[in-house]
Amino acid sequence: MTQQLNLFDNIDETDNTLQPAGNEREQILSLRRELAEQNYKYYVLSAPTMSDQEFDQKMHLLEQLEQKHPELFDPASPTQRVGSDLQKKSGFQQMEHRHPMLSLANTYSEQDISQWYNRVAKELRQAGVEQAPEVVCEIKYDGLSISLWYENGVLQHALTRGDGTRGDDVIDNIRTIKSIPWQVDYHRNPALSNFEIRGEVLLPWQSFERLNKEREEQEEPLFANPRNAASGTLKLLDPKVVAQRGLEAYLYYFITDTAVADTHYDSLLLARDLGFNISPAMRVCHSINEIMEFISYWDTERRTLPVATDGIVLKVNNLQQQQLLGYTAKTPRWAIAYKFQAERQQTRLTHISYQVGRTGIITPVANLEPVQLSGTIVKRATLHNEDFVRQLGIQDGDIVWVEKGGEIIPKITGKVNEHSSEQSLPYKFITTCPECGTPLVRDPEQAAWRCPNEDQCPPQQKGKIQHFVERKAMNIDGLGDETIDLFFSRHLITNIADIYDLRADDILALEGFQQRSAQIIIDGIEQSKQVPWSRVLFALGIRYVGETTAKKLAKQFPSIDSLASADEEQLRAVDDVGGQIALSIMRYFANPANKTIIERLKAAGVQLKADDDIQPVSDKLRGKNIVISGTFALHSRDEYKQMIEQNGGHNASSVSKNTSFILAGDNMGPQKLEKARQLGIEIIDEQQFLQLIS
């Protein structure tokens, strides 16, 4: 956000087409800037830093000033735009590209690069250019292309490539990318008031991994790579969710209405001055040698970059020369992409086996004849799910390609002998669990098959124990996977409650354990009784209840008993808890086996209720989602928040259909008021509230 703030400070305040109107003009511009920023924080980030009241006052002042100065009318002013329409969209508006969005010709060898460079030099010579052409080398970012349109310095549209001539306007989502300015300061160069800038939207590795981890916890299908994840994210209709994912953008092509630079390189420097994120990895090269140096440097160094890359882009630097060279139907002649070789090898798929995960998901695994790849020996690769195997069209005995791309885990990317598929039989997924024989089920909306026998299927039983002792859950030292395997096979632990019945003597009776190692386990178990309720809830391993959801649930339901007795509506009142999670929680507590386990955990002294500093006073507000708005006379906002929690209620930040009531002081925020009216939500004042909890 800091970057965004700086950029807002850059809004043009000296537009020379307008008559200066003294102080009031400045006031208008600064209010517009401030309110636009607040709108963004409110609607997109859900993290306003201004009270609704202050927002409203400033908006009102701006309206008055604008009425007084019609000559300063601006359709982009916050008075002219309803911030809330960000989310009401049902789809995206399609728009024609001003210039077709072309792709690049790909090459894979030094030879191809030389050929391209020599051809370019030759064509330019024929056109009278004697000097060897300059070529800018850039990183080829592996995301999806975006075209941003700025009018009078304001971001107006953000089009995806679409079909090259028409794209989707995904501007609300693009606005969540902090490094893309909403508005630029062009006053030093008015030729920069209207322009188009193109670049790549990416999901950095770190965010990609975090997202997939969350999806795994929620049992949602994983994204295969950051590009797919970025593309899926950009197509989401709720910019709030997009904002949480943390997209990034690198810009690489600046198209102004009037010429502003002689070279591509200089044009990017200008774009950088305007506040755009231009990759620092750019070099003007004067020979094939220099180009090859750049390529070989980044071929290894790219692994240190925070985002996915798949090659190098070469562009003729001089813009006039670019024009001379022109375009083919699909690609510019003045640019070319060199694609990095993914490391890949051929090997035989000996057989497909099936793994049963902690939650019963069945994953097909390719067992391979061992092969050397990027310095490691690869013997196995995940095949993800049934659909993935079908798409590859592979089966036992096929020769396949194994690749190690940006992702660390090797993957099978195809079959070497394309023809053999015609003779082979269609792929059939197994129908019963390879571990317990139970018939598998497949949720219609998911690609995964599951074994439903969660209480008796051994890997699921073990998986629940492994998850329970994990660092982020109960953090029980000494109980590693191998130890759990051993204890499980000796029937010492078959479920999580058994852990608390373990005695040092039981452990010492097993081979390989000494007094010390047994004591570490016993101490770890003892310490786990201090783990707070929210983490215990996560540790239980209820389907779809990941770490974050567990925290939110534990806040709303201060004990396992209150959670176990909650109905669907009460569960869904918790942030992020939808129907699927609510049903899963209810199903968990309806299972008699789980009830027994919980009783045993309770008896062992595991924290199954909150032990906060805030001691509950009553549960008069149990299950209530309350929004506070405005200023109060009798207590501070924070005091009211605390009272809500002490009485079992939940503080919600925004008004939704799940809001139970609004506690309103003076000058309640206009947006909240409007929303409350629309949804028919009750509004109560301080006195009524105090009465309610007295």
Distance of alpha carbon 329 from alpha carbon 103, whole angstroms? 10
- 140 makes contact with ligand IVH (CB under 6 A): yes
Which residue among 41, 58, 140, 415 is the active-site one? 140
Of the candidate residues 102, 222, 522, 684, the single one contacting ligand IVH (CB under 6 A): 102
- Per DSSP (E only), the strands in 34-165 are 93-96, 106-107, 135-141, 144-151, 154-160
Distance of alpha carbon 365 from alpha carbon 345, whole angstroms? 18
Candidates 14-22, 71-79, 135-143, 558-566 — which segment interacts with ligand IVH by CB under 6 A? 135-143
- 335 makes contact with ligand IVH (CB under 6 A): yes
HSE, side-chain direction, 13 A CA sphere, residue 449? 21
CA-based end-to-end distance of the chain: 42
- Per DSSP (E only), the strands in 522-660 are 625-629, 650-652
Using an 8 Å Cβ cutoff, are 317 and 264 in contact? yes
- 134 makes contact with ligand IVH (CB under 6 A): no
Closer residue to ligand IVH, CB minimum distance, 138 or 575: 138
Minimum CB separation from ligand IVH for residue 286, in Å? 19
- 337 makes contact with ligand IVH (CB under 6 A): yes
Distance of alpha carbon 524 from alpha carbon 502, whole angstroms? 11
Contacts of 92 (CB under 8 A, 6+ apart): 168, 169, 170, 235
Counting every residue written for the chain, the total comes to 694
Closer residue to ligand IVH, CB minimum distance, 285 or 652: 285
Minimum CB separation from ligand IVH for residue 313, in Å? 4
- 31 makes contact with ligand IVH (CB under 6 A): no
Closer residue to ligand IVH, CB minimum distance, 311 or 648: 311
Candidates 97-105, 441-449, 547-555, 644-652 — which segment interacts with ligand IVH by CB under 6 A? 97-105
In our burial notation (b when 16+ CB lie closer than 10 A, e otherwise), range 270-298 reads: bbbebbbbbbebbeebeebeebbebbeeb
Minimum CB separation from ligand IVH for residue 252, in Å? 4
- 478 makes contact with ligand IVH (CB under 6 A): no
Cα 188 to its chain centre, rounded Å, is 37
Size of site (CB under 6 A) for ligand IVH: 14
Q: Which of 103, 553, 143, 161 is nearest to 330 (CA)?
A: 103
- 72 makes contact with ligand IVH (CB under 6 A): no
How many other CB atoms sit within 10 Å of the CB of residue 31?
Answer: 20
Tell me, residue by residue from 244 to 273, as one string, x for binding to ligand IVH by CB under 6 A and - for no binding.
--------xx--------------------
Of the candidate residues 145, 318, 322, 453, the single one contacting ligand IVH (CB under 6 A): 145
Minimum CB separation from ligand IVH for residue 668, in Å? 47
Q: Which of 6, 553, 110, 182 is nearest to 341 (CA)?
A: 110
Candidates 81-89, 96-104, 317-325, 593-601 — which segment interacts with ligand IVH by CB under 6 A? 96-104
Closer residue to ligand IVH, CB minimum distance, 332 or 524: 332
Q: Is 140 a catalytic residue?
A: yes
Element (H, E) at 9: none
- Per DSSP (E only), the strands in 394-513 are 399-404, 411-415, 441-442, 449-450
CA distances from 626 to 145, 441, 568, 661 (A): 42, 40, 18, 5
Within residues 313-332, the interface with ligand IVH by CB under 6 A covers 313, 332
Candidates 11-19, 71-79, 98-106, 680-688 — which segment interacts with ligand IVH by CB under 6 A? 98-106
Closer residue to ligand IVH, CB minimum distance, 190 or 332: 332
Contacts of 446 (CB under 8 A, 6+ apart): 219, 221
- 141 makes contact with ligand IVH (CB under 6 A): yes
Minimum CB separation from ligand IVH for residue 457, in Å? 45
- The token pair at 546 is 């990941």
CA distances from 460 to 262, 383, 497, 545 (A): 65, 20, 15, 16
Tell me, residue by residue from 485 to 504, as one string, x for binding to ligand IVH by CB under 6 A and - for no binding.
--------------------
Element (H, E) at 583: helix 579-590
Minimum CB separation from ligand IVH for residue 107, in Å? 11
Using an 8 Å Cβ cutoff, are 124 and 293 in contact? no
Tell me, residue by residue from 186 to 225, as one string, x for binding to ligand IVH by CB under 6 A and - for no binding.
--------------x-------------------------
Nearest residue (beta carbon) to ligand IVH: 145
Closer residue to ligand IVH, CB minimum distance, 264 or 672: 264
Closer residue to ligand IVH, CB minimum distance, 15 or 196: 196
The dihedral formed by the CA atoms of 336, 340, 341 and 343, expressed in degrees to the nearest 10: -160
Minimum CB separation from ligand IVH for residue 179, in Å? 16
Minimum CB separation from ligand IVH for residue 280, in Å? 12
Minimum CB separation from ligand IVH for residue 312, in Å? 8
Computed on alpha carbons and rounded to an integer, the radius of gyration of the chain in Å comes to: 30
Q: Quickly list DSSP for 200-212.
A: EEE--HHHHHHHH
Minimum CB separation from ligand IVH for residue 145, in Å? 3
Closer residue to ligand IVH, CB minimum distance, 158 or 539: 158
Closer residue to ligand IVH, CB minimum distance, 43 or 195: 195
Closer residue to ligand IVH, CB minimum distance, 49 or 109: 109
Name the residues annotated as catalytic: 140
| Contacting positions for ligand IVH (CB under 6 A) | 102-104, 138, 140-141, 145, 200, 252-253, 313, 332, 335, 337
